[in-house]
Amino acid sequence: MKSSFKILLLSVLMLTVTVSCKKSTKTEVKEVDTYVVDNYTKKEVDIEMRDGITLHTTIYSPKDTSKEYPIIMQRTPYSSQPYGEGNFRTKIGPNEHLMKEGNIIVYQDVRGRWLSEGHYVNMRAYIPNKTSDDQVDESSDTYDTIEWLVNNVENNNGNVGIWGISYPGHYATYATVDAHPALKAASPQACIGDFFFDDFHHNGAYLLSYFRATSLFGTPRPNGDAPIDTAWYTLPSLPTEDQYQFFLDAGPLKNLDYFFEYDTADTPTMRPEGVTDDYFWNELKEHPNYDEMWQSRGLIQHLKNVKSSVATMIVGGWFDAEDLYGPLETYKNIERYNEGNYNTMVFGPWDHGGWARDRERNVVGNYYFGDSISLFFQKEIETKFFNHFLKGEGDKNSGLPEAYVFDTGKKEWKKYDTWPPENATKQTMFLSDDQQLTTEQKEITEIQFISDVKKPVPYSEDVKTVFTPRKYMTDDQRFAARRSDVLVFETDVMEEDMTLAGDILAQLKVATTGTAADWIVKVIDVHPADAETNDEMQDHLKMSNYHLMVRSEVLRGRFRNSFSDPEPFTPNEKTDVNIKLQDVFHTIKKGHKLQVQVQSTWFPLIDLNPQTYVDNIFKADESDFKTQTHTVFTDSNIEFTVLK
């Protein structure tokens, strides 16, 4: 007892001396979550596809082998790491509940990525009516993978589900086309539908803000395209914290080629002028229009024959800056062409993939939407969906609605039997003089503004350089409203709630002194002066008079009549430009105002339009960029979908 006391006393004295001689520093020891390694076994296999190529696949199976489990899989271009059967993920599956309830969780590197063989094609085109084993796509690879899994993985119950967010969400959609009979449930989440409308383009305008993501998809694998277990690409590093000024100083897009000249061992240093080592950057440059290449790689047009044996739940975020077109169009096209299918949608107040995070407070940028919204989705929606179709009855009585949608103005969930809701109607509002947004058309006049290519409208007032922007989707738009090259139209203070529930169509009547122009429309909820500021707000802002951007969209004017066949404007000629804005579910509450902003630059979210017509903006010269005067006529209107 005495010796134990001496040891304790000595330890206390040593601690006292250490503290007195040296400034103490707190070292937070994060506890390692061992749930997966404690409860699952891990196996890595290379599954052979019909053309002989093998795809690297990781299988986590419950250690409890007394019962059978469904298989829930994800196919990804972003790696099924960590590699090695002794290395485990700390979390597996779509969410913690599905992990702890027990499911066989599978991850697979898609063809041509990481440890899978074959050649990678960015948004690989679907091949209908295949006639040989050499004709492969992501649908056939998924089919062959499921066939192997149900026949070779022990203790599986014969039912398979698939999920994924963003690009893995695209592969989840792909799985529903020519689906394997064992595939019972698919949840494409933030799923890419078409790279001409998601991520890298919006309605033909190139998203310069995704410039740094290009190498992720376009860097060739080294060593003859051999499988590799470490990243072979590097993301471009901008030598600045001010991306606005950097891209403005860089000038035309062709001046950015040097970022994609890798000079790897497998690529010659002598290349044709204008051609880089990055095949995706080359594709972006050589295909500025919605031509056969882009059309063939889009998946939306192939959703006319989704198997009725596959239940689908499409998930998205109302403030997803990357993939909003994809999930909305995926839901709508499955719904339109596959009568009788179980097809539902869930949209909440999230940015890209926000529903999969464990945060208690749900915030996008500066704007707070409530507590436990993502946690509610994971437990009460996502888990119920997969359990019903993989472990339960599997009929249409899942207990979930057709549309589980979050009103981002009232900050509450709603359930509907259809989307848009049956009682939604169209309401037209006009862009009138004196900054008014009116329910009736007034005298037709012209409103002009100068679009200066040396001073484009920023998409955010923040000075920073980001990988891909997300926060701007809920940014305060006061900074833009106070610029002379941004037109503002707004209602009086609302005397009653107005709920926007569906798509929005801006029908602009415009003219320009030049031959080319972009058109941007933003829908904004102007908060009252007494609105309470939340903790996450940036220090220089307050919620008082906050201009919340509810929805925004751009149309590259050359594509106003066709995305495949661009055409110039005739200078000073009144021209129709119609811009479809993606769906919203947002109540402009009593005491707020509804505002619309119209502008022609949005930098560097989108690249700078020369405002003189050139065949390919990626190849424009400095001399092509001209300041122009644009006109918006007051018979322009916005058609809202409004809940009555």
What totals of helices (H) and strands (E) does the chain contain, helices first?
A: 14, 25
Fold of 424-643: Jelly Rolls (2.60.120)
Mean pLDDT of 549-557: 98
Tell me, rounded to whole angstroms, the distance of Cα 535 from its chain centroid.
26
- Here the contacts of 417-425 (C-beta below 8 Å, separation 24 or greater) are 419/331, 419/345, 419/502, 419/583, 420/501, 420/502, 420/503, 420/583, 420/641, 421/501, 421/643, 423/643, 423/644, 424/501, 424/502, 424/641, 424/642, 424/643, 424/644, 425/641, 425/642, 425/644
- Note the pLDDT of residue 12: 35
Distance between first and last Cα of the chain:
80
- Note the pLDDT of residue 15: 38
- Asked whether residue 638 carries a pLDDT value surpassing 60, the answer given is yes
- The region of weakest confidence among 5-19, 20-34, 177-191, 391-405 is 5-19
Residue 409 near residue 525, CB atoms below 8 Å: yes
- Asked whether residue 172 carries a pLDDT value surpassing 60, the answer given is yes
- Note the pLDDT of residue 31: 77
- Note the pLDDT of residue 1: 38
Mean pLDDT of 333-337: 97
- Note the pLDDT of residue 29: 63
- Note the pLDDT of residue 24: 46
Q: Where in the chain is the domain with CATH 1.10.3020?
A: 201-296
- Asked whether residue 266 carries a pLDDT value surpassing 90, the answer given is no
Burial class of residue 386 (count of CB atoms within 10 Å of its CB; 0-12, 13-18, 19+):
buried
Percentage of the chain with pLDDT > 70?
A: 93
- Asked whether residue 551 carries a pLDDT value surpassing 50, the answer given is yes
Mean pLDDT of 490-502: 98
Of 16 and 346, the structure prediction assigns the larger pLDDT to 346
Mean pLDDT of 191-214: 95
Residue 409 Ramachandran class (φ > 0 left, ψ -120 to 50 alpha, else beta) = alpha
- Note the pLDDT of residue 98: 98
Burial class of residue 324 (count of CB atoms within 10 Å of its CB; 0-12, 13-18, 19+):
buried
Fold of 34-127+135-194+298-416: Rossmann fold (3.40.50)
Alpha carbon distance 132, 145 (integer Å):
18
Percentage of the chain with pLDDT > 90?
A: 91
Give the pairing of strands 183-189 and 311-317: parallel
- Asked whether residue 20 carries a pLDDT value surpassing 80, the answer given is no
* pLDDT per position as a tens digit, 341-361: 999 999 999 999 999 999 999
* pLDDT per position as a tens digit, 56-76: 999 999 999 999 999 999 999
Alpha carbon distance 632, 226 (integer Å):
55
- Asked whether residue 248 carries a pLDDT value surpassing 70, the answer given is yes
- Asked whether residue 262 carries a pLDDT value surpassing 90, the answer given is no
- The region of weakest confidence among 25-29, 281-285, 355-359, 509-513 is 25-29
C-alpha distance from residue 131 to each of 50, 296, 301, 458 (Å): 12, 18, 21, 51
- Asked whether residue 600 carries a pLDDT value surpassing 60, the answer given is yes
- Asked whether residue 100 carries a pLDDT value surpassing 80, the answer given is yes
- Note the pLDDT of residue 274: 67
> What is the pLDDT confidence band of residue 19, given thresholds at 50, 70 and 90?
very low
- Note the pLDDT of residue 372: 97
Of 378, 396, 421, nearest to 189 by C-alpha is 378
> What is the pLDDT confidence band of residue 22, given thresholds at 50, 70 and 90?
very low
Of 30 and 393, the structure prediction assigns the larger pLDDT to 393
Mean pLDDT of 444-464: 97
- Note the pLDDT of residue 442: 95
Of 69, 80, 35, nearest to 153 by C-alpha is 69
Mean pLDDT of 321-331: 97
- Note the pLDDT of residue 275: 72
- Note the pLDDT of residue 467: 87
Query: For residue 61, what are the β-bridge partners?
Result: 41
- Asked whether residue 519 carries a pLDDT value surpassing 90, the answer given is yes
Q: Where in the chain is the domain with CATH 2.60.120.260?
A: 424-643
Task: Work out the mean pLDDT of the chain and round it to a whole number.
Answer: 94
- Note the pLDDT of residue 21: 42
Alpha carbon distance 180, 145 (integer Å):
9
pTM greater than the 0.85 cutoff: yes
Q: Where in the chain is the domain with CATH 3.40.50.1820?
A: 34-127+135-194+298-416
Mean pLDDT of 527-544: 97
- Phi, psi (5° rounding) for residue 518? -100, 155
Could you tell me what percentage of the chain is helix, strand and coil, using 3-state DSSP and rounding each to the nearest 5?
25, 30, 50
- The region of weakest confidence among 14-23, 434-443, 547-556 is 14-23
Domain 201-296, classified CATH 3.40.1340, yes or no: no
- Note the pLDDT of residue 30: 67
- Asked whether residue 82 carries a pLDDT value surpassing 60, the answer given is yes
